[in-house]
Amino acid sequence: MTADLLDWTNAGLADMDDAQYRARATELAQRLRDEVHTGKLPFLRMDYLSALLPELGRLEPWLRGFDHMLLLGIGGSALGARALQKAFAPGQDRPGHQGPWLWIADNVDPADLESYLAWLPAEKTVVVTVSKSGGTIETVGQYFILREWLRDRLGKAWKDHALLVTDATRGFLREEAANQGIRALPVPDNLGGRYSVLSAVGLVPALFLGMDCRALTEGAREVAAPLADMDLHGEALAAHPAFELAVWANALMYAGFDEMIFFTYIPPMAWFGDWFAQLWAESLGKRGKGSQPIPAVGVTDQHSVNQMFLDGPRNKACLFLTSPAQPRGPRFPNELPDAFGYVRGKDFGELIHAEGLGTRMALSASGVPLVELRLSRPDQRAAGKLIALLGAATLLTGWLMDINPVDQPAVELGKRLAKARLGADGLEKEKAELDAFLGAQRNEQEF
């Protein structure tokens, strides 16, 4: 069986101080043992799956009774689910799809919400609300509206069309589950949204769409288990690909490479770039540090942003996702103009491999440090491995940067200001800041 591989051939930074990072591997191995032991890194230990997978098995017949799932969530509560949907259940975007349908309400978009209310058949729809805290106003606000919609159309049966994914013991949604008798699944403690795709957050929609949740989680465990081993030592950590990626990324930032391209040459997996962007940005953008993630899709973005990658500032590195085992597609006809004779009789799918190779070589020739992530097959097990690898690499990169990669303090300010603008109780400091901001002399120009 062909292995999934990291290809370091064009990674650059040959003068990196390996000895320095080997020394830190011992320190970080101890930190991993401590934090795994105290339950701080559930996305590596994944012990919550022993209860979750059987519960998903019990829920599966109920979920299969619906044609539509409307997922209410934002950020990490939606990006992973969308990446999995696009990769492994893409029929909804293609002609002739007969269901099931997953709709993701991941923004404050009144027009979208009104379309769901107008067109979804309530009797064939399950509404899944995902918020770890149970207080995310964008998500809980939509839940209030959908709850009323279900009640109006289904009466007392509305509760059988709802599922809440939230904290195990705290928050409004957990209280709602208890008070209303609504089905609920827990998000484990210390599992932030951007690390949560292989919990109920992402696995519930994956199950609804018919994906193999065990393959996803087994793939992830294959990568994560060595890092969650209570006997982990520095030498073993130093050899783990997640640590090697972290060392590479940290050294790049130190050398001034402050943008990280995630270039996907597996078209169905394009949305993994958006999932990675949140993971990387929200984890590492702290105290003036970090590198800006840039999702890019091959070959589409060869014709848009690749000019900047190739000939713009020399501040970019690249993670380049490929697989040799993609669909071959239809064959080009033999009757072609001579100018296009080079594709005569070839499979359409050969284009993606040729274009990917050309772009990879051009980036490397242009001085872009590049690591290829090559999946032997772009299947669900490989996706689980990829999710775990990038999650662990992000965590370890943050530790090498001496920042906390599992919080997002700057994001919270915007949330408090929004609540203050809407009149939430308290938040007097934020309300004063709003008054000062809105009362400032404007410098405006018509266009």
- Confidence grade of residue 37 (pLDDT, cut at 50, 70, 90): very high
**Torsion 13-389-43-102 (CA) sign:** positive
**Within a domain: residue 438?**
no
194-236 pLDDT tens trace: 999 999 999 999 999 999 999 999 999 999 999 999 999 999 9
pTM, rounded to two decimals: 0.95
Q: Is the pLDDT of residue 18 over 90?
A: no
pLDDT score of 15: 61
Q: What is the mean pLDDT of residues 28-53?
A: 97
Domain boundary among the residues 383, 400, 417 is at 400
pLDDT score of 16: 63
CA–CA separation, 273 and 318 (whole Å) = 12
287-334 pLDDT tens trace: 999 999 999 999 999 999 999 999 999 999 999 999 999 999 999 999
- Confidence grade of residue 355 (pLDDT, cut at 50, 70, 90): very high
**Within a domain: residue 447?**
no
Structure token pair of residue 335:
């009757």
- Catalytic residue of the set 124, 353, 415, 431: 415
Map residue 277 onto helix, strand or coil: helix
CB atoms within 10 A of CB 384: 26
- Catalytic residue of the set 303, 335, 444, 446: 303
201 and 303 assigned to the same domain: no
48 and 120 assigned to the same domain: yes
pLDDT score of 138: 93
45-81 pLDDT tens trace: 999 999 999 999 999 999 999 999 999 999 999 999 9
Is-catalytic flag, 37? no
Is-catalytic flag, 161? no
**Within a domain: residue 405?**
no
Which phi and psi (to 5°) does residue 342 adopt? -65, -15
CA–CA separation, 275 and 81 (whole Å) = 9
Residue type, 109: D
206 and 265 assigned to the same domain: no
Is-catalytic flag, 415? yes
Task: Supply the mean pLDDT for the chain.
Answer: 95
116 and 30 assigned to the same domain: no
- Confidence grade of residue 422 (pLDDT, cut at 50, 70, 90): confident
Q: What is the mean pLDDT of residues 350-355?
A: 97
Domain boundary among the residues 376, 400, 424 is at 400
148 and 255 assigned to the same domain: no
| CATH number of the domain encompassing residue 24 | 3.40.50.10490
Domain extent, residue 129, equals 42-211
227 and 195 assigned to the same domain: no
Q: Is the pLDDT of residue 268 over 80?
A: yes
CA–CA distances in Å: residue 72 to residues 8, 80, 139, 194, 356: 39, 13, 6, 16, 35
80 and 187 assigned to the same domain: yes
- Catalytic residue of the set 282, 286, 372, 385: 282
Q: Is the pLDDT of residue 186 over 90?
A: yes
**Within a domain: residue 425?**
no
**Within a domain: residue 251?**
yes
- Confidence grade of residue 430 (pLDDT, cut at 50, 70, 90): confident
- Confidence grade of residue 409 (pLDDT, cut at 50, 70, 90): confident
